[in-house]
Structure 1
Amino acid sequence: MRTLYWFTRDLRLHDNASLLAASKSDMLLCLYVVDPRWFAPGPLQSKAMGDHRWRFLWQSLMALERSLRTLGQRLHIAFGEPETVIPQLAHAHSIERVVRSRLPGTQEAGQWQAIKDRLPKAVFQQFETLSLFTEGSLPMALGELPDTFSQFRKQVEKTGDRCSERLRIRTLTALPPPPGFPEDNRGDCPPIPEPVHPLQFMGGEAAGLARLQEFLYDNHSIDRYKETRNALDTWDASSKFSPWLANGCLSVREVAETITEYEASETKNESTYWLWFELLWREYFYWYALKHGANLFRRDGVQRKRRHGTLYGHRFKAWCQGNTEYPIVNAAMNQLRETGYMSNRARQLVASCFINELGLDWRYGAAWFEEQLIDYDVGSNYGNWQYLAGVGADPRGLRQFNLEKQTQQYDPTGTFIDRWGGHADQPVGLHTVDAADWPL
């Protein structure tokens, strides 16, 4: 069988059920499609792919290509729309089967269906490689996914399983040959921007696995995770696995099983449990996105609750540029803009400010995060924004953080604010309105 494997958010060889299935072929074309639409502003004013995300993704693709070459394969990187690129390649190479990992997101589902419509004779297969569990191993049907995380967690923990079994073939050692080495058009992709701030994040499978080893076995930072995870700006305070998980350089099942192995051989305490607890939050939002589809992006959310909030152009710009009246928010937004990363605690604070103090439509903030974050994940991002806006999975409704108290608790000496320039010279106040900036 002649197979096209479409890499998406699974840029790895280890624990990759989709790639393993695709490898059972006579010929295998490994493909990644860079969609030009990612780099154009969308209806919520932000792009789907900003500089930091693009740099990390490209690093991950280059690492994947190096790994594939050791197996006699290569990565065909195409710049174009998948609905056009994949049918063209399928016809050119007599492809009989198309395989990819199952993805949440309405655009991803629409693209998959469009490709199937254009290749009616081909076999199409998807496998679940982005989640702890397969749909069949969940303790509930997808349509019965609980409305809150707590209900989901209790049902999962009752089973006693932390994840579906990872593939015991940890890394593929052989792949079928490609259809020669056809030239691709990767040269048409946007240039890779230079970082404006020194980064500790490097894309790729090897880097993700190295971070897993470092956080658990080298530094034993997991032992203190529950106490340190809310720090705003310390490398080992939290796992930092999210960029590699979001791009599929690191398998979430690999992380879960490594935690279990660590607990058996090293330390088992509340902190080691809490890291798995955070993985379970990520898991919940993965299935949440699949269940709710387009409602993930609705202003009134999955709850269909009407909330105040519009787009004041000057306030939105001030928030993005770290130029508000709130130093801790400014510092976090400057960090995001310069590095593509922000701690979990900081994300909650800036989102709360966006929704409550600034009175803005949460979807614009979520779209800005999508552009900027190197660990952007559709379910986690939009699910968490809905949660904070009171239109999603939070049974308590709208949440608001006291920014002054949060500053005193998490940055009492002002170190984080000073490092990231949180004291704006001319902050934009809430009552500064230009005639061109009436709510849109």
Structure 2
Amino acid sequence: MPHKTGLFLFNNDLRLHDNEALTLAAAQVDQLICVYCVQTTQSSATLQAPSSLSPHRQVFLAQALSDLQTSLKKLGQHLVVTTKSALEVIPQLITVHNIDHIYSSVSPGYYEQKNWQTLAKRYPFIGFHRLDTHTLFHRAQLPFAVEKIPDGFSKFRKHVESLSINLPLAAPKQLPPSPVSASTWKNLPYSLVQAPLFEGGEEQALAHLEGYFSTRLASDYKLTRNGLDGMDYSTKFSPWLANGNLSARQVIHCLKLYEQEQGANDSTYWIYFELLWREYYQWYGHCHGKKLFRVSGIKTVKPKTSFYAERFQKWCSGNTPYPIVNACMKQLNSTGYMSNRGRQLVASCFVHELGLDWRYGAAYMEEHLVDYDVASNWGNWQYLAGVGADPRGHRRFDLNKQTLTYDPHQVFIKQWAGHQFDTHLDSVDAADWPISR
């Protein structure tokens, strides 16, 4: 029987545990090429490729890939890392190595789906296999067609909340060898230095997962989740979930074990509730595709907005008349992370107080957040901008009231110097004319 050669395309599944697509590949082929394509230019808003990454995102990704490389080497494998696009490198590998099967995890990203569909049409004689590893549920489990996803989270939750969730898979004990020499490929084009808050990689993800549930933090989660700073007010699973160093099913499994040992309450349920929010946006991304990046979102009417370059730059640097927003933006720029409460406040400010095109704000978050997830990021921005899945329209937050509620003594604002800003928001008008004072 002739040998079968497979190719595994890693994307948002940088792990060995609970990687159903990788497990399938290991079982079906005799040789396997593991590939990761680093894309560093163009914005998702152009529907082409991910935007340039901030140093924080670069470091986190570099650490995740380095960790994956180490894990693969223990199984006699290695990762082919290339700065070429999948549409460039995969045809080369198909030609040289006579590939029979190509495997990948399903991604909600329009760019990734478009590439996959292009390759599948171009090579109909090759078996293309994609599995749902980035979500809690498989597509076939959903009680509705993805194209008919409910038009709001509450309806979605009622449909899926009681569905069973598969147990996470163990890591493969062995992988087929690679026919590609490791010395052929260049190293990752990012410097590998220590990130301020999070260290990327499956090993760190599993350590954090175990560490979190070894404490009682989960039992108080609902009471603390709106914190603005620190490591303990929220689970902090999101960076590793975004890169796929950790699966949502692994989190749920550990959560259920915790509830069995420590007891279930509103707080432990709320962790599941927010994973369902994440789940909703993954399928939302699959449903709406390129509409995720359209100014009118999934609506038919464009929001009334404009673009003021000076306002945008002040928002980015944390130099607006809104101290709580400034503090959040300075925190983001310094650490690559921002609380969920902070993300809602800076987005509301961007859309409502500054009157800017929401897509520029979403693209800035894409560049900087270490836990950037294409569906969650762009879906949530649509939600705040009133062009997404929100039957009540725009979500505008009273920034003064929010400050009194979540930072009443301005500890967070003072820590990040949010009170330091220019007196005037605009020094020029929209036509770039100086404004007299």
Q: TM > 0.5 between the two? A: yes
Task: Give the C-alpha shift of residue 13 in structure 1.
Answer: 0.6
Q: How has the CA–CA distance of structure 1 residues 354 and 437 changed in structure 2, closer, same or farther, with 3 Å as cutoff?
A: farther
**TM-score computed with the length of structure 2 as normaliser:** 0.93
Task: Give the C-alpha shift of residue 77 in structure 1.
Answer: 0.8
Task: Give the C-alpha shift of residue 150 in structure 1.
Answer: 0.3
From 399, 411, 417, the counterpart of 2:413: 417
Q: How far apart, CA to CA, are the structure 1 residues paired with 2:287 and 2:44?
A: 28
From 157, 160, 167, the counterpart of 1:156: 160
Give the share of equivalent positions with the same residue, in percent.
46
Residues 36 and 80 of structure 1 are in contact (CA less than 8 Å); yes or no, is this contact kept in structure 2? no
Q: Secondary structure at the match of 2:395?
A: coil
Q: How far apart, CA to CA, are the structure 1 residues paired with 2:324 and 2:47?
A: 29
Q: How far apart, CA to CA, are the structure 2 residues paired with 1:356 and 1:130?
A: 33
Task: Give the C-alpha shift of residue 190 in structure 1.
Answer: 3.5
Task: Give the C-alpha shift of residue 92 in structure 1.
Answer: 1.7
Task: Please name the residue that 1:3 is paired with.
Answer: 6
Alignment of 1:192 onto 2:195: no
Q: How far apart, CA to CA, are the structure 1 residues paired with 2:409 and 2:190?
A: 40
Residues 16 and 129 of structure 1 are in contact (CA less than 8 Å); yes or no, is this contact kept in structure 2? yes
Residues 243 and 375 of structure 1 are in contact (CA less than 8 Å); yes or no, is this contact kept in structure 2? yes
The within-5 A match list for 1:349-360 is 349-360=345-356
Alignment of 1:221 onto 2:220: no
Residues 136 and 249 of structure 2 are in contact (CA less than 8 Å); yes or no, is this contact kept in structure 1? yes
Alignment of 1:389 onto 2:381: no
In structure 1, stretches of 5+ residues that fail to align are none
Residues 23 and 175 of structure 1 are in contact (CA less than 8 Å); yes or no, is this contact kept in structure 2? yes
Q: How has the CA–CA distance of structure 1 residues 171 and 428 changed in structure 2, closer, same or farther, with 3 Å as cutoff?
A: farther
Q: Secondary structure at the match of 2:102?
A: strand
Q: How has the CA–CA distance of structure 1 residues 434 and 136 changed in structure 2, closer, same or farther, with 3 Å as cutoff?
A: closer
Task: Please name the residue that 1:176 is paired with.
Answer: 176
Task: Give the C-alpha shift of residue 166 in structure 1.
Answer: 2.8
Q: Secondary structure at the match of 1:232?
A: coil
Q: Secondary structure at the match of 2:41?
A: helix
Q: How has the CA–CA distance of structure 1 residues 184 and 49 changed in structure 2, closer, same or farther, with 3 Å as cutoff?
A: farther
Q: How far apart, CA to CA, are the structure 1 residues paired with 2:46 and 2:300?
A: 23
The within-5 A match list for 1:79-90 is 79-90=83-94
Q: How far apart, CA to CA, are the structure 1 residues paired with 2:377 and 2:79?
A: 29
Amino acid at match of 2:22: L
The within-5 A match list for 1:92-241 is 92-157=96-161, 160-161=162-163, 163=165, 165-167=166-168, 169-187=169-187, 189-192=188-191, 199-217=196-214, 219-241=215-237
The within-5 A match list for 1:238-317 is 238-317=234-313
Can you list the C-alpha shifts for 1:219-275, whole angstroms capped at 9, x where unaligned? 221110000000000211000100100000001011112111211122210000000
Can you list the C-alpha shifts for 1:150-171, whole angstroms capped at 9, x where unaligned? 00111112xx2352x134x412
In structure 2, stretches of 5+ residues that fail to align are none
Stretch deviating more after TM superposition (33-42 or 395-404): 33-42
Can you list the C-alpha shifts for 1:63-83, whole angstroms capped at 9, x where unaligned? 001011111111111121110
Amino acid at match of 1:204: G
**TM-score computed with the length of structure 1 as normaliser:** 0.93
Q: How far apart, CA to CA, are the structure 2 residues paired with 1:19 and 1:40?
A: 27
Alignment of 1:402 onto 2:398: yes
Amino acid at match of 2:196: L
